[in-house]
Amino acid sequence: MAERSFRREQPNRPATAPKRPQARGSGNHVIEFRGVSKVYEGGDVGLDQATFAIERGEFVFLVGHTGSGKSTIMRLLIKEADASAGSVRVAGRDLSEIPRKRVPYYRRNIGVVWQDFKLLPNRTVYDNVAYALQVTGRSRREIRQKVPDILRLTGLATKLHNYPDQLSGGEQQRVSIARAFVNHPPLLLCDEPTGNLDPETSIGIMQLLYRINRTGTTVLVATHDHAMVDKMRRRVIELAEGRVVRDEAAGLYTRDETTREFAARMRGAVADPALDPAARGTRHVRERGRTGSN
Amino acid sequence: MRLGFFLREAMRSLRRNAMPSFAAMATVLVTMLVLGVFIPIVQATTGAANEVRSRLLLDVYMKTDASAADVSRVRARLANETPHVKKVEFVSKKEAYAQERKRNPEAYQLLGTNPLPDTFRVTPDKASNINQLKSSLDPGGRPVDPAIDTVRNRRDETNKILSATRVVKLTTAMLAALLITASILLISNTIRLSLYARRREVEVMKLVGATDWFIRWPFVIEGVVVGALGGLLAILLLAVGKIALIDPLAADFALIAAPDTVNFGVLIAVLMGLAVTLSAAGSGISLRRFLRV
């Protein structure tokens, strides 16, 4: 079963270096889009001949303004929609081969974080995270062990019994990340995770995603927060009108750094872009984004 | 362990969605109440109609000079060879005379002799077969046995009773069908509304990787609980109504010869079963729309 082999690939190593994106061995792609198009009912083009691949352990940004196809890629990856043409492969398996009945089992291997959090309003923080485990049929004992752990990791240890509407936006997003990651999926998808948050909170969220990435999880973040992308200095795939217009590897700055170094750089990078030779490439993105959105 | 989880989930959502659950329960309660009143009424009406029909008889008059052998031959013929016969009752000359004299003593005093023939009162197996029975006994106005004088029913009245009771039965059947359709629509609509309010919740569950049945079971259990509560309350109200209103009335007036209606226990069981299955199936099926994520 592809699901199971997918799970086995999940690296359980501690904070070692994430894999560099140089290896192009086709067997190693976590995500592979090959000539993927998506035309919605009514003729809107969501994606037009998109081709790219993402290696295991990578941290990749998907940028582009509204309507450029970021959300379409996310929806294809969780099989909420099917590609009109081309093939989408996740962990080597073509998604079009997964029958409808198996989709829930496929989704359990992917953590997803949304801009609007999508928490269950009638459940406490604890129960929201526990639900992702209950779905997979884990025992109560296991749930009682894992949930507090992951909530501690995401900094919510004191909010266990609050309901989502009693939390700030940043806290809610942390809950949704905890829920996405509690199964330790090998792939984490984030659709505008900081779209509703202020810059300082956003840095906290990014720091959390980076920490998750360092456990070996592949992270794909769709965003139009260019300042964030510039500071993160990870691989960037840019989309415009459904096409991949730029795929820039991380290059120099994927130097392995600790979460703390990372956070310090994130907070300080705005102050001294000149000191940072790597910022040059990504500034290009910022300019494009500005002209596009205005 | 699974069952426990689903039960807890159902109870949680009942607690957290108290208002919609209450509305669904009230709907079940009202429809079951109406059904509970209506089912005995339908039964009483059709029972009454059937009772009227069962009084339809065919009189077979023997010739006044018929011998005992003739009588027993005709009796055997009626009992064994004629189709659609349910019951044959023999009224002899003497019995007929005694009956009539009791009813009108003076006239029979004057008469002196007994002019009445031996008579068979034939009950058809089904009221609607009475005309067929008659024509099989005297095809074309000529009786099948020489000892039979005439075969008679009061034709006009018979036909009126037949058509009138048929209309009554049809009307009640149609009313019952309408009522049941209305109940189903009402219950399923209420359920759909309360589910619609929770469609986002269902969507999130699906995106987290829950299978359809994992999401559906708590909803079905919720439907069972809501249906059972509504049914129970309706039955309680019905019982109170029966004890407080119908029973004393029936005792005092011997209510229209107490037509045969369903036993209260059976009625309760039917209502309860209906309430639970309707609301459980309603929740389970209505959910399908929202599971397509």
Same domain for B34 and B16, yes or no, is yes
Q: Is residue B121 part of a domain?
A: yes
CB contact under 8 A, B208 and A137: no
By percentage, how much of chain B surpasses pLDDT 90? 9
- pLDDT: which is higher, A130 or B168: A130
With beta carbons less than 8 A apart as the criterion, state whether A257 and A207 touch.
no
Specify whether B245 is located in the same domain as B105.
no
Give the residue from B108, B127, B152 where a domain finishes: B152
Q: What local confidence, expressed as pLDDT, does residue A255 receive?
A: 59
Residues of B in contact with A140 (CB under 8 A): 1
Where helices occur in chain A by DSSP H, the ranges are 2-8, 70-77, 103-107, 125-135, 140-153, 169-181, 199-214, 226-232, 259-268, 279-293
Which residue of B12, B201, B207 is in closest CB contact with A107?
A: B207
Q: Most B CBs within 10 Å: which of A100, A122, A163, as the mutation test of the B interface?
A: A122
Q: Among residues of chain A, what percentage have pLDDT more than 70?
A: 80
How high is the pLDDT of residue A111? 94
Q: What pLDDT does residue B60 have?
A: 85
At residue A128, the 3 state secondary structure works out as helix
- For residue A17, the distance in angstroms to the closest alpha carbon of chain B comes to 29
Q: Give tens-digit pLDDT for A175-228.
A: 999 999 999 999 999 999 998 888 888 889 999 999 999 999 999 999 988 888
Q: Do B141 and B187 fall into the same domain?
A: no
* End-of-domain residue from the set B124, B152, B180: B152
Task: Enumerate the residues of chain B whose CB falls inside 8 A of the CB of residue A131.
Answer: 205, 208, 210
Regarding whether B166 and B48 lie in a shared domain, the answer is: yes
User: Residue A89: pLDDT above 60?
Assistant: yes
Residue B113 lies in a domain: yes
One domain for residues B117 and B236: no
Q: Domain check: are B167 and B263 in the same one?
A: yes
The ipTM is 0.74
- Could you tell me which residues are beta bridge partners of residue B57? none
Give the model's pLDDT for residue A217: 94
Contact check, Cβ <8 Å, B206/A104: yes
> DSSP 3-state assignment of A292?
helix
Instruction: Give SS3 for A17.
Output: coil
Identity of the residue in A107, A122, A135 whose CB atom sits nearest the CB atom of B13: A122
Q: Do A135 and B214 touch (CB under 8 A)?
A: yes
Q: Give every CB contact of residue B289 below 8 A, 6+ residues apart in sequence.
A: none
pLDDT at A17 (0 to 100): 42
Q: Which one of A3, A77, A120 would you mutate to disrupt binding with B, by most B Cβ within 10 Å of its Cβ?
A: A120
Residue B87 lies in a domain: yes
Q: With contacts defined as CB-CB under 8 Å, which chain B residues touch A78? A: 207
pLDDT at B51: 77
Exposure of B202 by Cβ count < 10 A (0-12 exposed, 13-18 middle, 19+ buried)? buried
| Same domain as B229, residue B171 | yes
Do B135 and B248 share a structural domain? Answer: no
Could you tell me the residue range of the domain that residue B113 belongs to? 57-152
- pLDDT value of residue A269: 55
pLDDT in tens, A30-88: 999 999 999 998 888 889 999 999 999 999 999 988 888 898 999 999 999 999 999 99
Residue B45 to residue A275: CA distance in whole angstroms: 96
Mean pLDDT of B107-124: 81
For residue B208, tell me if it sits in a domain.
yes
Percentage of residues of chain A with pLDDT beyond 90:
50
* Cross-chain Cβ contact A107/B208 below 8 Å: yes
Any chain B CB within 8 A of the CB of A142? no
Verify that B23 and B46 share a domain, yes or no: yes
Residue B137 is predicted with a pLDDT of: 80
Maximum mean pLDDT: which of A100-114, B74-88, B275-289: A100-114
Distance from CA of A4 to the nearest CA of B (A): 15
Is any Cβ of chain A less than 8 angstroms from the Cβ of B288? no
Beta bridge partners of A111: A188
Q: Which residues of A193-209 are buried (b: 16+ CB within 10 A; e: fewer)?
A: bbbbbeeebbbbbbbbb
How many Å apart are CA A98 and CA A113, to the nearest integer? Answer: 22
Tell me the percentage of chain B whose pLDDT exceeds 70: 94
The neighbouring-strand residues paired with A59 are A219
Q: Which residue of B has its CA nearest to A140?
A: B1
* pLDDT value of position A283: 43
Interchain CB distance below 8 Å, A80 and B17: no
B261 band by pLDDT with thresholds 50, 70 and 90: low
pLDDT value for A24: 41
Q: Check whether residue B144 and residue B170 sit in a common domain.
A: no
Question: How much is the pLDDT for B23?
Answer: 86
Q: What is the CATH number of the domain that holds B80?
A: 3.30.70.3040
Question: From the CA atom positions of chain A, what is the Rg in Å?
Answer: 18
Please check the confidence at residue A22 and state whether its pLDDT lies above 60.
Answer: no
Query: What is residue B154's predicted lDDT score, i.e. its pLDDT?
Result: 65
- pLDDT of A62 reads 93
Token pair 């008579």 in the structure block, residue: B119
When pLDDT is cut at 50, 70 and 90, the band that residue A250 belongs to is low
Which residues of A are less than 8 Å from B205 in CB distance? Answer: 120, 131, 135
For residues B196-211, average pLDDT: 87
> What is the DSSP track for chain B?
-HHHHHHHHHHHHHHHTHHHHHHHHHHHHHHHHHHHHHHHHHHHHHHHHHHHHHT--EEEEEPTT--HHHHHHHHHIIIIISTTEEEEEEE-HHHHHHHHHHH-HHHHHHH-S--PPPEEEEEESSGGGHHHHHHHHSGGG--SSTTEEEEE--HHHHHHHHHHHHHHHHHHHHHHHHHHHHHHHHHHHHHHHHHHTTHHHHHHHHHHT--HHHHHHHHHHHHHHHHHHHHHHHHHHHHHHIIIIIHHHHHHH-GGG------HHHHHHHHHHHHHHHHHHHHHHHGGGGG--
Determine how β-strand A218-222 pairs with β-strand A93-94.
Answer: unpaired
Do B25 and B63 lie in one domain? The reply is no
**Structural domain includes residue B157:** no
The reply to whether B24 and B102 lie within a common domain is no
Return the pLDDT at A79: 92
For residue B63, how far is the Cα from the chain centroid? 43
Instruction: Give me chain B's average pLDDT, please.
Output: 82
User: Which residue in chain B has the smallest CA separation from A116?
Assistant: B204
Structural domain total, chain B: 2
Work out the burial of residue B203: count CB atoms within 10 Å of its CB; fewer than 13 is exposed, 13-18 middle, 19 or more buried. Answer: middle
Cβ within 8 Å, pair A104-B210: yes
- Residue to test with chain A: of B208, B213, B214, most A Cβ within 10 A: B208
CB neighbour class for B100 (10 Å; exposed up to 12, middle 13-18, buried from 19): middle
Task: Tell me which of B152, B178, B196 is where a domain ends.
Answer: B152
With CA atoms as reference, the chain B residue closest to A118 would be: B204
Distance in Å, alpha carbon of B215 to nearest chain A alpha carbon: 9
B26 in reach of chain A (CB within 8 A): no
